[in-house]
Structure 1
Amino acid sequence: MVQSNLKFLTLLAREYPTVAKASSEIINLEAILKLPKPTEHFMSDLHGEYEAFTHILNNASGVIRNKVDRVLGDSVSEAQRAEFATLIYYPEKKLPQMKQRQSDLSAFYLQTLYRLIDVCRVVSSKHTRSFVRKRLPEGFEYIIDELLHAHFEDHDKEFYYGRILSSIIDIGRADAFIIALCGLIKRLAVFKLHIVGDLFDRGPRPDIIIDKLMVHHSVDIQWGNHDVAWMGAAAGSPVCIATVINTTLAYNNLEALEDSYGINLRPLAIFAEKIYGNSDVSRFLPKLGRPALPYEREGLLRTARMHKAIAVILAKLEYQVILRNPEFHMGDRALIKFIDFSTGTIELEGKTYPLADAYLPTVDPRARAVLTAEERQVMEKLCQSFSESERLGRHIRFLYAKGSIYRIENGNLMFHGAVPMTEQGTFAVMEFEGRNYSGRALMDYCEARARRGYFAPEGSPERQSGGDFLWYLWCGRSSPLFGRDRMTTFERLFVNNPAVYEEKKDPYYHFMNDEATANAILKEFEVRDPEEGHIINGHVPVRAANGEHPVKANGKIIVIDGGFCRAYHEKTGIAGYTLVFNSHGLSLRAHEPFETTQKAITENRDIVSTVDIFETVQMRLLVGDTDEGRKLKTQIADLKLLLAAYRQGLIKEG
């Protein structure tokens, strides 16, 4: 066995050139295997709600507050513990506020630093000293390492801490040290962050969320249908660009385009004023979630005109995509084709409905998919603006680098939408590019073609095909990211009849409470030990206000979209779910609406969360029980082979 692996072992010997070094690494890895499993944090459907996201990221869905309560205990009042937790969440903003009230600043610094070190010791206890050292803030590595790992059988704690901390205070580094410790606590409290789709749309600043994810120490993303629309837009797909703008205008989130990414909407605004300036655009007024203020009316009307202009352009572009891709089986969704301009009606599924807005001066009944010359100019300028947005490009490359259609880790299968199924509960078979796909193979195909839409050579047929497919993933029938038979945006804008607004869910959702179906999906995706595995979903808000529960199929399926986005709060009754998976098991956290960051800082207002510990383990999970643990065991086996090679003289020590 050693001789057959000699070439590989020779390469491994470059990293561990002696028996002592290989032996030391084996001992280190064996020790890591015995540590408690680190905490994983799951979030979904953030939809640009950056303030609530930032707060839940900072408090780790209550994990950090739990540590604070554990360390400080009942000897410290609830109000003081809340303020101390807020300091950890927002140290740069909270610290100046706390300092203003102090009569003895040195005493305040000492007490705060003692407490932070104690909390830091607790959150670092799940990790090896080597792991913690690699994450220590620059400039404070030696000091924090000493404070976290001091042996108080050899030192008087108060004296030892006091001398070090007093020195930090005396040289004016206390503020920087407090901020550094708070950041370290947050990094160590959560080992890995999983985002189960939909960073974009509805909320005001998805870009701020992505900026924070880009500096997170360990994150992965499962794409949502809103994400792939933006991915297609950044790749230059006209239909995806029109889709993104249409959704953004519908929620009056112009800052998400103009301020965040520098997208120039002026060409669209000028065109919209020219074509629709004197027409009724009341159906296209943006959704505010509140009554419009008098001074807002003219601005909202301008947005509504832009909304109508892009909605008509989008209808034409969608028709073009559907014509190019008969394999999408979406001929009935080229809705502009079914308008009768002579009567001002539209035929939908064999029934005729009057158009609520029949003023469509840019649509040629003889060439309905064709943009006018002015519409083409508008789209060319918009496409150029999207392609030249350096920040958007950087964010989308991050989504491709850290993202995927699905992910399997530690017995959990994560995906945003659905595994397309038939009414009989079997995996739906879909044909693309002359081949049939279903189940996991379908998801793998979708990811490969989505990547083609961004990475294929610009201007190539492959790039256009991939861009069309990104739009299909956004709204296509049986798209695993969309999970419905149709997206009725056009009907809601142009038809005043709720009967045509229904979006039928994929049969997957009908089987969500069936444990056998969940097990079949876990087996299809080769999840280790399907009987113990879970499916973690986003996409469809859980209507907790109506009594719906997010844990389904006897605990096998967990839906963590509880309405993070403000637009959903009224429907769901809460402001989102998050999931925490630590060494003790799985716990679901239901969150009340977040007010503002300012109130969190000034009034120590945390997000009120209800913790539902719905699955615990009999024996505490260790690193050795995780996927990472299995990798470490493989490394240990390889190192033992290397030791054998050294001892047999097959490889010389360096």
Structure 2
Amino acid sequence: MSQHPQHDDPDQLRYLRLLSQSFPTRQAAFTEIINLEAILNLPKGTEHFLSDVHGEYEAFEHILNNCSGVIRERVDALFAGELDAAERADLCTLIYYPRQKLRQLHARQTLDGNWYEAQLLLLVRLARTLSGLYTRSKVRCAMPVDYAYIIDELLHASAAGETSRHEYHVQIIRSVVGTGAADHFIRSLAALIKRLAVDHLHLIGDIFDRGAHADKIMDRLMEYHSLDIQWGNHDICWMGAAAGSQACIAAVVRTNVRYRSFDMLERAYGISLRNLALFAERTYRPDGGISPMEKAISVILFKVEGQLILRHPDFDMTSRLLLGQMDLAGGTVHVGGRDLPLFSTDFPTVDPERPYELSAEEGDVLAELEQAFSQSERLRRHVGFLYERGSVYQVSNGNLLFHGCIPLEADGTFSTVICEGYPYSGRGFMDFCDRIARRAWNVGDQMALDWMWYLWCGKHSPLSGRVVKTFERSFVKDRSSWAEPQDPYFTATRLGAVCEEILEEFGLDDEHSHIINGHKPVKAIDGESPIKGEGRLLVIDGGFCEAYHKTTGIAGYTLISADDGMRIKAHLPFMGVDAALGDNADILSESTTIEREVPHLKIKDTDTGDDIRTQIADLRALLDAYRCGTLKERS
């Protein structure tokens, strides 16, 4: 019998042959094992978690630039003894906005060789401190190509060499200044510092809607070094629109008309609203506090939603068929067993006998919008990136990440949802939602497209988690009808035991595991805490969107998971780039520690550590194959 049974497995042997192409000798395999085992003992990389940025590009960009306040913390810790508060703030602003800050200083004619030399030495010291968290190869990969050799020389002096090589480093910096490359070199060092301060970004949904520049956020994310995205309900609606769902197209257009974010569609994505506007002006009068354009797209939305709901009785959403419940002569609509007054009775395109049938003009408007969405190359790039880097949920380093909720019953058990004729619940339902969303993009069949709308606002959508009352909020005077009942998830997860059952459903049974989601703004102004479920649930929607600031009292959260533990930072509103440049105005943050890790976590304690251990095991199997002669080494 073979002493190496794994070598008798043809699939394993085929894999080892492939692996031998990268490691053709025992020495090569030994060297890689040593390298990987060393990496396991480096500090865990710093992860940042953000959610619900809702198109607020300027604030989002500043959070990326100041690394959620971590840059300021590092600068204060490293230079508190030698720089005063104003000098440290100047250095931070230079790191956040190097191009703009240098332009401003040049205009003031305040720059000279001494200033450049001092700032560059400070930046090098900060970069050197941060680079100690990574392998030299990873730091080199993060360096700007133009200055990789020079930066490598400056960063990796030994402790003893710090003094003996100081003049060497000073001379390098003086040469940089003397050749006129100092501005570019500062920008490169600032980029490296920000890259090293955050190893990975988790964006837990809702990039789109409300704010004016989700497109710029998407461009920025596509440049970011390492991230994943959990789709939010607003994201999935845009994704459905780009895939061809008429209901999602109408919902996206209505949201942008309602929030007057016309630039998002017309300038950013080349989707013209001209024909919609002309049709609305011809057809509706401005009454009931709603513009003709908003009324026109709202009626189109409710008609295509009605058609969709009638196609899918398994969606169990017939209570949302409200166009057909209007009594225009009496000025009411029958909702929830009550006849409630309407804001307006001006609905000339709604046929009481066929309320969900589009008029010819409405059909033309919607067809043109559908064509415009499908032909927007920039939108398709952005949505393609959301599919590439995104998912309905993710399990990462012992935490469960999703935007909205896991649909539950009132008793805390998982809701069962019929999906294409089959019952799903818990993790199985989340996996189905992920698959159907990808099918909508890759295949585009009507069933999958209809599910994209359901994920936007359906009864058991894990991305929405509430009954969406768009009709009532548009047309019904009685505000009590506007209340949107929430999934029992949001109350049941006040109990740690329910959170633990959810975590176990996803294979997480460690006492340090957490559910991390956004979607529901935390009203910090009223004393509400983002830490829920007896510490097992972290809700990190702090209201990035300016419209929410009065409700939440803050302007967003960042959850930070580092080698020394986990903490959440509550951000105050950003005053703008001009204030940052003129007054060193930063986003001020308050930090709350959730967990401390003693001893500090290392890469071996993470998912990356699990992957590395698998690689090491494969390399040891390859070594064994070389030793016993199953595979031949190649020089």
TM tier, smaller: over 0.9
**What is the aligned partner in structure 1 of residue 271 from structure 2?**
263
**Deviations for 1:198-225, whole angstroms, at most 9, x for unmatched residues?**
0000001000001000010111000000
Partners of 2:157 and 2:79 in 1: how far apart? 20
Matched, 1:623 2:630: no
1:222–1:414: 8 Å Cα contact kept in structure 2? yes
Letter matched to residue 625 of structure 1: D
Moved more, 235-244 or 156-165: 156-165
2:341–2:478: 8 Å Cα contact kept in structure 1? no
Matched, 1:603 2:583: yes
Moved more, 471-480 or 156-165: 156-165
- 2:486 paired residue among 505, 521, 546: 505
Partners of 1:104 and 1:631 in 2: how far apart? 49
Letter matched to residue 13 of structure 1: S
The size of the alignment, in residue pairs, is: 626
1:41–1:581: 8 Å Cα contact kept in structure 2? yes
**What is the aligned partner in structure 1 of residue 629 from structure 2?**
649
- 2:223 paired residue among 215, 218, 223: 215
2:411–2:492: 8 Å Cα contact kept in structure 1? no
Matched, 1:82 2:64: no
Matched, 1:493 2:474: yes
Cα offset, 1:280, TM superposition: 2.9
Matched, 1:229 2:209: no
SS at match of 2:78: helix
- 1:579 paired residue among 551, 559, 568: 559
Partners of 2:316 and 2:139 in 1: how far apart? 53
What pairs with 1:363-374 in structure 2 (closer than 5 Å)?
363-374=350-361
- 2:496 paired residue among 510, 515, 525: 515
The verdict on how the C-alpha distance between 1:43 and 1:186 changes in structure 2, with shifts beyond 3 A counting, is: same
2:288–2:344: 8 Å Cα contact kept in structure 1? no
Cα offset, 1:94, TM superposition: 1.0
**Deviations for 1:28-86, whole angstroms, at most 9, x for unmatched residues?**
11111010101000000010000110001111111111111122123201111111111
1:341–1:365: 8 Å Cα contact kept in structure 2? no
Partners of 2:95 and 2:180 in 1: how far apart? 20
Letter matched to residue 522 of structure 2: V
Cα offset, 1:190, TM superposition: 0.6
Cα offset, 1:282, TM superposition: 4.9
**What is the aligned partner in structure 2 of residue 14 from structure 1?**
21
Matched, 1:199 2:179: no
Cα offset, 1:499, TM superposition: 1.0
SS at match of 2:234: helix
**What is the aligned partner in structure 2 of residue 525 from structure 1?**
506
Moved more, 189-198 or 19-28: 19-28
**What is the aligned partner in structure 1 of residue 618 from structure 2?**
638
- 2:286 paired residue among 274, 277, 280: 280
**Deviations for 1:594-630, whole angstroms, at most 9, x for unmatched residues?**
1212211222111010001121112100000000001
Letter matched to residue 498 of structure 1: R
Cα offset, 1:350, TM superposition: 0.8
Letter matched to residue 3 of structure 1: H
**What is the aligned partner in structure 2 of residue 547 from structure 1?**
527
Partners of 2:226 and 2:63 in 1: how far apart? 16
1:477–1:483: 8 Å Cα contact kept in structure 2? yes
Letter matched to residue 607 of structure 1: I
**What is the aligned partner in structure 1 of residue 570 from structure 2?**
590
Partners of 2:150 and 2:28 in 1: how far apart? 27
Letter matched to residue 475 of structure 1: C
Partners of 1:539 and 1:412 in 2: how far apart? 17
- 2:327 paired residue among 313, 337, 340: 340
The verdict on how the C-alpha distance between 1:104 and 1:399 changes in structure 2, with shifts beyond 3 A counting, is: closer
2:245–2:449: 8 Å Cα contact kept in structure 1? yes
2:288–2:343: 8 Å Cα contact kept in structure 1? no
**Deviations for 1:77-121, whole angstroms, at most 9, x for unmatched residues?**
111111111111111111222344455611111111101111101
Letter matched to residue 472 of structure 1: Y
Letter matched to residue 160 of structure 2: E
**What is the aligned partner in structure 1 of residue 439 from structure 2?**
452
**What is the aligned partner in structure 2 of residue 159 from structure 1?**
167
TM-score (norm: length of structure 1): 0.94
Partners of 2:366 and 2:81 in 1: how far apart? 62
- 2:155 paired residue among 123, 145, 148: 148
Cα offset, 1:150, TM superposition: 2.4
Cα offset, 1:152, TM superposition: 5.9
Structure 2 unmatched ranges of 5 or more: none
Letter matched to residue 132 of structure 2: S
Matched, 1:436 2:423: yes
1:283–1:493: 8 Å Cα contact kept in structure 2? no
Partners of 1:136 and 1:407 in 2: how far apart? 29
Matched, 1:352 2:314: no
Cα offset, 1:341, TM superposition: 2.6
**What is the aligned partner in structure 2 of residue 72 from structure 1?**
79
Partners of 1:506 and 1:283 in 2: how far apart? 30
Letter matched to residue 229 of structure 1: C
Partners of 2:361 and 2:107 in 1: how far apart? 59
What pairs with 1:381-392 in structure 2 (closer than 5 Å)?
381-392=368-379
Partners of 1:281 and 1:120 in 2: how far apart? 60
1:59–1:65: 8 Å Cα contact kept in structure 2? yes
Percent identical among aligned pairs is 49
1:281–1:308: 8 Å Cα contact kept in structure 2? no
**What is the aligned partner in structure 2 of residue 94 from structure 1?**
101
Matched, 1:133 2:140: yes
**What is the aligned partner in structure 2 of residue 287 from structure 1?**
none
Partners of 2:429 and 2:13 in 1: how far apart? 40
Cα offset, 1:6, TM superposition: 2.7
Cα offset, 1:241, TM superposition: 0.7
**Deviations for 1:407-465, whole angstroms, at most 9, x for unmatched residues?**
000011000001000011100111121100000000000111111111115xxxxx211
Partners of 2:396 and 2:554 in 1: how far apart? 28
Structure 1 unmatched ranges of 5 or more: 285-303, 458-462
Cα offset, 1:194, TM superposition: 0.3
Partners of 2:131 and 2:194 in 1: how far apart? 10
Partners of 1:473 and 1:72 in 2: how far apart? 49
SS at match of 1:423: coil
2:412–2:489: 8 Å Cα contact kept in structure 1? yes
RMSD (CA atoms): 1.3
Matched, 1:3 2:10: no
SS at match of 1:413: strand
Cα offset, 1:650, TM superposition: 2.1
Letter matched to residue 507 of structure 1: P
**Deviations for 1:466-508, whole angstroms, at most 9, x for unmatched residues?**
1111111111111111101x21121111111111011111010
2:201–2:228: 8 Å Cα contact kept in structure 1? yes
Matched, 1:477 2:492: no
Partners of 2:153 and 2:622 in 1: how far apart? 34
1:589–1:611: 8 Å Cα contact kept in structure 2? yes
Letter matched to residue 525 of structure 1: F
